[in-house]
Structure 1
Amino acid sequence: MDAATITARLIYRDALMLVLDKPSGLPVHRDGRGGETLTDWLDDLRFGLPRRPELAHRLDRDTSGCLVLGRHPRALARLSSLFATGAVEKRYWALVEGGPQEEAGTIDLPLARRSPDRRDWRMRVAEDGQPSLTHWRRLGSVDGLAWLELTPVTGRTHQLRVHCAAMGWPILGDATYGGTRAPRLMLHARSVTVPLYPKKPAILVEAPVPPPMAEALGRIVQDAPAMPAAPPADTAP
């Protein structure tokens, strides 16, 4: 990773907010596994401001796609409030093994950590866990794989991965929760919709589907639906 690479992954920019297309395999913070993190490169995203941007939410190391940052403290406070109250809509695309027979549904399963060790991020379904809710929609399926759109209502650690595995459809490439090995975790934060400005329409940002996942989607639908390019970045400082 270098400064040019991280800035090239910027898919939205305005005076308050940045949205990055985070690559799979890059952690947003130190996670005990060593190597570089996204925070190592945030100074390269200041674009003339005195402080670096900061994360408004998180994505797992192995999940790619839309990651929102606030450009200064007031912007970060506004974005953090929107995420905390559920005002930001996040949509993910996943390739799962097996998959549901129904067209759409909701997973309502509470989640808790597997271990009291705070260094262990693995989660499990638990009656005494935190409420966790995910809406899903099946976009296509073939040869034992299904393409799902997942919309988390809550934001628990590994929520989508554990919910899919608990339903009997682990995400492809998710060995932690029972998925078959693959070149990467087939989970992508496809879009965010952020009602950032009260008197303006909500901002929709879409992250392009990465090649390994796009190739797999081609197995599900011969003519995959058009995947619109990300909106151009605003050049406001």
Structure 2
Amino acid sequence: MIKIPAKLNVLYVDDAIVVVDKPGGLLAVPGRGPEKIDSVSTRLKKMFRQMIEQPAVHRLDMFTSGVMVYAKTGQSHRNLSNQFARREVKKIYEAVVEGVLSDPGGEIRLSFRLNPQNRPLQIYDPVNGKSAITVWQKIAANHRTTRVRFFPVTGRTHQLRVHSAHPLGLAAPIVGDSLYGRGCEGDRMLLHATSLCFTHPVTGKTLTYRSTPPF
């Protein structure tokens, strides 16, 4: 079971935005039920009283760690949300996947959709699924696993996890993934958002924030 730090690691803050390094095991936004109240959003609203009620503009899965940006104002929320919708935000991830990959890299194009009978599982569906594109690059490998870098072009739910695990993708689930791989519930999933590049909603400056994977 992952131990969640008591203190949130804030990488940057001003009157418009907050950038954090989300730990694995902590929700990005609160879920349903009292056991799912603790989240990055909940903690930020306690830390910064002027923050809007719904500050999240994107998501990371509970067991994914790494860089996230949150809005402090309504104007910032609209601006950042539009940047994500227009695919203007550049994201880079690192992961450790099961098995040894022989290719140095490539591009995965694999459409999928939610399985309503087994939420939140996403399933391959070339007809009715949403298009999803991931560029990937091999970093290193040992006799059991491979470290890869992901450059997601689209931002679908569970995109990197599905593209890693599916036979038409890497056919190599992310280590610790309990939904698409061989991990157990509560395992540390070895997927980390290492870099986030976006335009500041007020100043218009290009900002890039980075975080080193904890694995």
TM-score of the pair, normalised by structure 1: 0.78
Structure 1, unmatched stretches of 5+, are 214-237
Distance 1:112 1:145 in 2: 28
Tell me what 1:62 maps to.
Answer: 63
- The number of equivalent residue pairs is 206
Q: 1:195 aligns with which of 193, 199, 208?
A: 199
CA RMSD of aligned residues (A): 2.6
Letter in 2 for 1:40: T
Which moves more between the two structures, 84-93 or 174-183? Answer: 174-183
Change (3 A) 1:50 1:150: closer
Contact 1:97 1:179 in 2 (8 A): no
Tell me what 1:45 maps to.
Answer: 47
Change (3 A) 1:139 1:42: same
Letter in 1 for 2:136: W
Tell me what 1:208 maps to.
Answer: 212
Deviation at 1:32, TM superposition (A): 4.6
Distance 2:104 2:142 in 1: 14
Distance 1:20 1:141 in 2: 29
Tell me what 1:89 maps to.
Answer: 90
Q: Secondary structure at the match of 2:148?
A: strand
Letter in 1 for 2:123: R
Distance 1:99 1:157 in 2: 25
Tell me what 1:178 maps to.
Answer: 181
Deviations 1:58-115 (A, max 9, x none): 1101101111101100011111111110000011110001143121211100011122
Contact 1:17 1:75 in 2 (8 A): yes
* Matched ranges for 1:1-237 at <5 A: 5-6=7-8, 9-32=9-32, 34-38=35-39, 39-46=41-48, 49=50, 51=52, 54-116=55-117, 120-127=119-126, 128-166=128-166, 167-180=170-183, 183-196=187-200, 201-210=205-214, 213=215
TM-score of the pair, normalised by structure 2: 0.85
Distance 2:159 2:100 in 1: 17
